[in-house]
Every structure is written in structure tokens, then in C-alpha cells.
């Protein structure tokens, strides 16, 4: 083949170029601009008119109990959504892995929430959680308990928002685990049965090692998606009642668009981004270590 | 032994039934509410089943929702076209070439998944203000593509990875020009994944709320996500109508996602395994 080596070397850059420039313009540049805003006193009405004020916003944040509260809410929400969706998703996948009559129908129903647009999810759950006529309180009353303010009571709001979020995202974990389960060779099951292992032992010793890498990936995606999730929380509670569901991302939005303090908002956002970065770096470090130990 | 495994099967069936009932309930409840009138819904002993007589007229009287859906469709199509155009080329290069900056580019794609939109919405707002893209559906296309395109790249890259390079080499030997290898040899082989990438990009644009809510001012230019969200906490529109609107907004997403879910899942996971 006659090739021009210079042109061949340029080719991949030509292919990647469009996407790379696009990402620089629409994500990297705004991100850097956001980080810059965090050290200025910019206000919403004049987003480019801020002047440099150093790290005042950060100093203020780290002396503010409200900020620590929103970090705490974010971590609790994220941990609960990750744990809930991994548990529910894995259980659902294990149940669906063997064939039984109606399996396709069950799988279809269990996959659906993932496809439902978040705004629609929020409308449904606002209605289900409704204090007076919501179906959840009807159930609670029918069982003989008192109706609860699922979204208006500080002790329930985070639970209610978490439940709605888990409902929406667990199918993703289910599909990931199901795909991993179907890659477990049948011989492994059989040999373990011949050895006389019961179902639980088979799962622990044969299946789980197969699932682990995929579970880790699912956990990573669930974590970083939960850390940045905005719409479902905003639409269900707007961060309330009394900050009970005020995650970092919600306070970023509130500071910008309600209090017009772009600088402070950007500083909160920067701290939030550090959180996700730490999680991601930890994941890849763990993955590298487990790969190295396999190589041994 | 046999009775034990049968008992196990019954137990499994019960658990599956409960799970399906609980997970399916919110959607069932959306349909039920959509067929009921306000007087029934708020009576306290509202019926727990849909009104079959009104199932047929579920999608009539949606008001402004039809315009909003058309706006969403515009944003979704734009996002799909733009992200596929860039993603096909980028995925091919990532799969077939080793070049400097490849790792950085791969990480940048992944990093978009952890970037909070709430942080970049203000700088984007400032940029769009200067460029005259605020209150413009085209601006939404640009913003959404930044988040949809990386996922499309992963899905397509993991598909192209599975096509043996030998197929391309033999096509070249048979006289296929270099520039034609991608569109005429590779693309036809990964069509199912292109479809999956198209679906996920489409519904990224269709579902997106934060940018739409922040950038779009005129009510007749709202996409359906913002329009629907405006019903939260608003008690003028009958709840049945709100739920019908939510249902029309949801149905296309469910249908298409079910068709391509497997490839979306494998694309998303492979993107974070190989980096």
C-alpha cells in the first residue's frame, strides 16, 4: 500500500478534532470560567463583571455550618442511592437470570423506570407523595398509621427523594449485572454443583468474582451521577424543607439563580467537583491495584 | 431435593411478583391518574384502576404540550445529528489508532460524566448571552450535545473494537479508497450500535431539564421538560391532563430505550473500564 506517512499520522487528529474542539469550547472553557468565577465577586445580572477577590468565598464556605450540612446531605444521598440501586439491581438481575414463565415481561417492567424522563418521574412522585390525596398516604392510613408529609417533613424528605432516585436508576445496575451474569460460563455452575455447593456458596465463590469488576463500574457511575444529580431533587423539594435535601448541586443553583451570587455558587461547585474527582481517582487506583494483583 | 428446589422456585416467583408490582406501580399510577377527573382524584376514595372509558381520549386536550413536544423533538434531533457526526469519527480514531493525546481525550470524555451541569450553566449562560443563543432552541442543542456526544463515542468505540481490522484491510486491497472505509465498510457493520447511540443522544436532548429551564424564556419556545416541570406546584391544570402530558412525554422514551438498552449499557460500562 502506498501511504503518505505524514498524512496517516495526522488522520486520527482530524477524526478526533471535531469532538475535542467541541468539548474544549462547551465543557472545558465554561468549567475554567466557573473556577475563575469562584475567586471573583460576580453577580447574576453582570456575569462577566466580577473582580478578583482571592479565596474569600472558599474561606466563607469552610466556616459555614450550612455548607457542611449540604456536603453531609450530598454524601448521605449518594451513599443511599448507590447502596440502594446496587442492592436492588443485583437482586433483580439474579432473579431474572434463570428462565421462568413471564421473564421477558418482568424484565421489561423492571427496565422501564430507567427510560422515564426525570421530569416525568418527578411529577409522578410528587403526586404519589402528596400529603392529602397521595396514594402513599392512603396506603399508610389504610394500614392504620398516621399520614406523613413525605416531602414536607424534614425527617422524611431525603428518604423520599432517595427512594424516587433509586427507582429511576436501579434498572441500569440490573442490566449491567444481568449482562455480566450471562457471561458466566455454564461449566462453572455445573462443576460447583458437582462439588456439592449450595446456591449461596455458588453465588459467593463462582458468580460474585465474575460480577465484581462490573459492579465496581456500576458503583462508580452511580456515585458520580448521584453527586451531580440536580433535576429530581430540585423538582421534588427544591432542596427543602429547611435544607433537608439541600445537596451541593442544589446550593450551587440556589446561590446563582436565587441569591445571584455567582462567585459563591461557583466555589460550592468547585468543591463538589473535587468530590467527584476524588471518587473517580480512587476507583481507577483500585482497579489498577486489582489488575496488578491478578497479574501476580 | 426436588421439593426443595420447587419451594425455591415458588419463593422466587413471589419475590419477582412483588418486585414487578412495586417497580411498575408508579407508571401504572400515572396511567390511572391520567384517565381520572379532578373530582374523582381528590375525593379521598379515588378508584385505584384506570377509567377504561377515558383511555381512548387520553391524549386529547393537551393544550400547549403539543408545541412543547415539537420543541423537544427539534432539540432532540439536533442533539442526535450533531453528536453522531462527531462521535462516529472520534470513536473510529479511538478504536483504530494509537496517537499522542489519546489517553487525555478518553479521560476528557469520561470527565463529562462527573461534571455538574449546575456548575457550568452560569458560564454557558454568559457565553450564550454574548452569542445571542439564549432563548434559542439551537443553543440547547449545543449545550446538550456536550453531554450526549461522549456517551455516543463510547457506545460506537466498543462496537468498532469488535470489528476485525482485517475486514478493512481486505476492503482496501479490493480497491476501496481510504476515505470510504469508514462510511462504506465499518459503519454498516455497527449499525445497531449507531442506532443505540442515536437513541441515547435523542433522549438526552428530549429529557434535559436544567439548561432548558435556565435558558428558555418564551413560553412558546419551551421544550416539554420545562413545560411539564411548570406544572409542579401549579394547581390550575387538572391533574389528569398533567399526567397525560407526562405520559406522552414518556412513552417514546420507553419504547426506544427498550429496543436498544443492551448496547447502551455495554457502551457506558466499557467507557469507564478502559478509560
pLDDT digits (tens, 9 = 90+) for B206-233: 999 999 999 999 999 999 999 999 998 7
pLDDT digits (tens, 9 = 90+) for B87-134: 999 999 999 999 999 999 998 998 898 888 888 998 898 889 889 999
Distance from CA of B53 to the nearest CA of A (A): 22
Domain ranges of chain B: 2-55, 65-274
- The pLDDT of residue A99: 83
- Of A179, A231, A272, nearest to B210 by CB-CB distance is A231
A44 lies in a domain? no
Domains held by chain A: number: 1
> Between chains, do B272 and A172 touch, taking CB under 8 Å as contact?
no
- Of A13, A167, A269, nearest to B119 by CB-CB distance is A269
Average pLDDT of the residues in A236-262: 93
Per residue, the 3-state secondary structure of A130-197, as one string, reads: CCCCCHHHHHHHHCCCCCCCCCCCCCCHHHHHHHHHHHHHHHHHHHHHHHHHCCCCHHHHHHHHHCCC
Check pLDDT > 60 for residue B274.
Answer: no
Q: Which of B31, B120, B206 should we substitute to test contact with A (largest number of A Cβ atoms within 10 Å)?
A: B120
What CATH number is given to the structural domain containing A99?
1.10.3720.10
A158 lies in a domain? yes
Which helix (H) or strand (E) segment is B237 a member of? Answer: none
Q: How much of chain B, in percent, has pLDDT values that exceed 90?
A: 56
Domain extent, residue A112, equals 66-295
Average pLDDT of chain A is 89
Average pLDDT of the residues in A36-58: 89
Across the A:B interface, residue pairs with CB atoms under 8 Å apart total: 271
Check pLDDT > 90 for residue B44.
Answer: no
Domain range B65-274, CATH architecture: Orthogonal Bundle (1.10)
- The pLDDT of residue A295: 54
Determine contact: A53 vs chain B, CB below 8 A: no
Distance from CA of A27 to the nearest CA of B (A): 7
Per residue, the 3-state secondary structure of chain A, as one string, reads: CCCCHHHHHHHHHHHHHHHHHHHHHHHHHHHHHHHHHCCECCECCECCCCCECCCHHHHHHHCCHHHHHHHHHHHHHHHHHHHHHHHHHHHHHHHHHCCCCCHHHHHHHHHHHHHCCHHHHHHHHHHHCCCCCCHHHHHHHHCCCCCCCCCCCCCCHHHHHHHHHHHHHHHHHHHHHHHHHCCCCHHHHHHHHHCCCCHHHHHHHHHHHHHHHHHHHHHHHHHHHHHHCCHHHHHHHCCCCCCCCCCHHHHHHHHHHCCCEHHHHHHHHHHHHHHHHHHHHHHHHHHHHHHHHHHC
- Of A127, A256, A276, nearest to B239 by CB-CB distance is A127
> Between chains, do A29 and B122 touch, taking CB under 8 Å as contact?
no
A45 lies in a domain? no
- Which of B32, B34, B30, B26 minimizes the C-alpha distance to B58? B34
Contacts of A262 in chain B (CB under 8 A): 122
A51 lies in a domain? no
- Pull the grid cell for residue B232: 409542579
Check pLDDT > 70 for residue B2.
Answer: no
- Pull the grid cell for residue B155: 457506545
Cβ contacts of A152 within 8 Å, gap of 6 or more: A131, A241
- The pLDDT of residue A296: 47
A25 lies in a domain? no
ipTM of the complex: 0.90
A195 lies in a domain? yes
Amino acid at each position: 500500500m502506498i501511504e503518505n506517512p505524514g498524512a496517516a499520522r495526522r488522520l486520527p487528529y482530524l477524526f478526533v478534532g471535531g469532538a475535542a474542539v467541541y468539548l474544549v469550547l462547551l465543557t472545558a472553557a465554561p468549567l475554567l470560567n466557573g473556577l475563575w468565577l469562584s475567586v471573583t465577586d460576580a453577580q447574576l445580572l453582570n456575569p462577566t463583571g466580577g473582580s478578583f477577590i482571592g479565596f474569600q468565598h472558599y474561606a466563607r464556605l469552610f466556616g459555614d455550618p450550612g455548607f457542611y450540612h449540604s456536603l453531609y446531605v450530598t454524601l448521605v444521598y449518594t451513599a443511599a442511592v448507590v447502596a440502594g440501586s446496587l442492592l436492588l439491581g443485583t437482586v433483580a438481575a439474579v432473579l431474572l437470570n434463570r428462565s421462568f414463565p413471564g421473564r421477558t415481561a418482568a424484565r421489561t417492567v423492571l427496565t422501564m423506570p430507567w427510560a422515564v424522563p426525570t421530569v416525568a418521574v418527578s411529577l409522578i412522585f410528587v403526586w404519589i407523595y402528596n400529603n392529602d390525596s397521595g396514594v402513599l398516604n392512603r396506603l399508610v392510613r389504610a394500614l392504620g398509621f398516621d399520614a406523613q408529609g413525605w416531602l414536607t417533613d424534614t425527617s422524611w424528605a431525603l428518604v423520599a427523594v432517595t427512594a424516587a432516585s433509586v427507582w429511576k436508576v436501579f434498572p441500569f445496575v440490573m442490566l449491567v449485572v444481568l449482562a455480566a451474569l450471562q457471561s458466566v460460563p455454564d461449566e462453572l455452575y455445573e462443576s460447583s454443583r458437582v462439588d456439592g455447593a449450595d446456591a449461596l456458596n455458588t453465588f459467593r465463590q463462582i458468580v460474585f468474582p465474575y460480577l465484581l469488576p462490573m459492579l465496581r463500574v456500576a458503583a462508580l457511575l452511580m456515585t458520580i451521577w448521584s453527586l451531580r444529580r440536580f433535576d429530581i431533587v430540585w423538582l421534588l423539594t427544591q432542596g427543602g424543607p429547611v435544607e433537608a435535601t439541600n445537596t451541593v448541586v442544589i446550593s450551587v443553583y440556589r446561590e446563582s439563580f436565587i441569591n445571584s451570587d455567582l462567585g459563591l455558587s461557583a466555589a460550592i461547585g468547585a468543591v463538589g467537583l473535587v468530590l467527584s474527582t476524588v471518587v473517580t481517582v480512587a476507583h481507577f487506583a483500585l482497579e489498577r491495584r486489582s489488575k496488578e494483583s491478578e497479574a501476580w | 431435593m426436588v421439593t426443595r428446589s420447587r419451594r425455591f422456585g415458588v419463593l422466587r416467583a413471589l419475590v419477582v411478583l412483588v418486585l414487578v408490582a412495586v417497580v411498575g406501580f408508579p407508571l401504572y399510577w400515572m396511567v390511572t391518574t391520567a384517565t381520572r377527573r379532578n373530582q374523582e382524584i381528590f375525593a379521598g376514595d379515588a378508584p385505584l384502576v384506570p377509567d377504561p372509558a377515558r383511555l381512548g381520549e387520553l391524549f386529547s386536550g393537551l393544550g400547549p404540550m403539543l408545541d412543547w413536544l415539537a420543541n423537544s423533538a427539534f432539540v432532540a434531533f439536533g442533539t442526535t445529528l450533531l453528536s453522531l457526526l462527531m462521535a462516529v469519527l472520534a470513536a473510529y480514531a479511538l478504536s483504530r489508532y494509537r496517537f499522542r493525546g489519546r489517553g487525555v481525550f478518553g479521560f476528557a470524555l469520561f470527565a463529562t460524566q462527573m461534571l455538574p451541569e449546575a456548575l457550568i450553566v452560569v458560564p454557558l449562560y454568559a457565553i450564550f448571552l454574548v452569542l445571542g443563543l439564549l432563548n434559542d432552541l439551537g443553543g440547547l442543542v449545543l449545550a446538550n450535545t456536550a453531554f450526549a456526544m461522549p456517551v455516543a463515542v463510547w457506545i460506537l468505540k466498543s462496537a468498532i473494537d469488535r470489528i476485525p481490522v482485517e475486514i478493512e484491510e481486505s476492503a482496501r486491497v479490493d480497491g476501496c479508497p481510504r476515505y470510504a472505509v469508514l462510511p462504506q465498510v465499518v459503519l454498516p457493520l455497527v449499525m445497531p450500535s449507531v442506532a443505540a447511540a442515536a437513541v441515547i443522544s435523542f433522549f438526552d436532548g428530549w429529557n434535559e431539564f436544567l439548561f432548558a429551564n435556565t435558558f428558555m424564556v418564551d413560553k412558546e419556545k419551551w421544550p416539554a421538560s420545562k413545560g411539564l416541570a411548570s406544572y409542579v406546584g401549579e394547581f390550575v391544570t387538572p391533574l389528569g391532563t398533567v399526567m397525560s402530558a407526562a405520559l406522552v412525554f414518556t412513552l417514546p422514551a420507553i419504547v426506544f430505550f427498550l429496543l436498544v438498552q443492551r448496547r447502551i449499557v455495554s457502551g457506558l460500562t466499557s467507557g469507564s473500564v478502559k478509560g
